[in-house]
Amino acid sequence: MLSIRLQRVGSKNDPSFRMIVQDHRRHPTRGNVVEYVGSYDARKGTPQIKGERVQYWLGQGAQATETVHNLLVDAKIIKDKKVNAHNKKTKPAKKEEPKKDLPAQAGEPKAAAPAPVVEEVVAEAPKEEAAPEAVAEAPVAEAAPEEPVAPVAEAEAPEEPAA
């Protein structure tokens, strides 16, 4: 299978690359290049690509590497999304997507958010129920007198104003 990849040709601290079509099993520096289809100077950042030849080789079944794929997307030679060209352990940065709850068109009025519902929790006195066996075993003299518990009034829900 053929691949479209970058071949480094720049000197130390001067990264520049050739874009080549080559068998994917061969190392990019070992010759046997099928065709040169462009160049990329990493310092300048603008690649020179033969778009027709790249389209031809992609049509013949050649696969572009991740970096070359992203360069072709930037040059608008292919219409696709960029892929993660970093180390596989590195997660790609995710952009914040617009919320789906918002109206699709700007002319539509925004729906008012529902008011938060406030619930009041009524504290109930814990009911102490003793097991029947425990009541029979406990002597009557040791039982401590219980304090009376004041009854708790139920909270009324606030009335909603009529619209």
Does residue 58 form part of some domain?
A: yes
pLDDT confidence of residue 55: 92
Does residue 128 form part of some domain?
A: no
Does residue 31 form part of some domain?
A: yes
Residue 21 has, within 13 A of its CA and on its CB side, a CA count of 20
Pull the structure tokens for residue 72. Answer: 């072709």
pLDDT confidence of residue 26: 84
**Which of 53, 50, 4, 7 is CA-nearest to residue 30?**
7
Does residue 70 form part of some domain?
A: yes
Q: Which domain holds residue 11?
A: 2-74
Does residue 17 form part of some domain?
A: yes
* Number of folded domains that form the chain: 1
**Which of 80, 83, 88 is CA-nearest to residue 66?**
83
Does residue 13 form part of some domain?
A: yes
CATH number for the domain that contains residue 61: 3.30.1320.10
User: How would you write the pLDDT of the chain (163 residues) with one tens digit per residue?
Assistant: 899 999 899 889 999 999 999 988 888 777 788 999 999 998 888 899 999 999 999 999 999 999 999 999 989 998 888 888 777 666 666 666 666 665 555 555 556 666 666 665 555 555 565 555 555 555 555 555 666 666 665 555 566 666 5
pLDDT confidence of residue 48: 93
Q: What is the dihedral of CA 46, 52, 58, 60, to 10 degrees?
A: -150
Does residue 111 form part of some domain?
A: no
32 contacts 26 by C-beta, under 8 angstroms = yes
d(CA 18, CA 6): 6
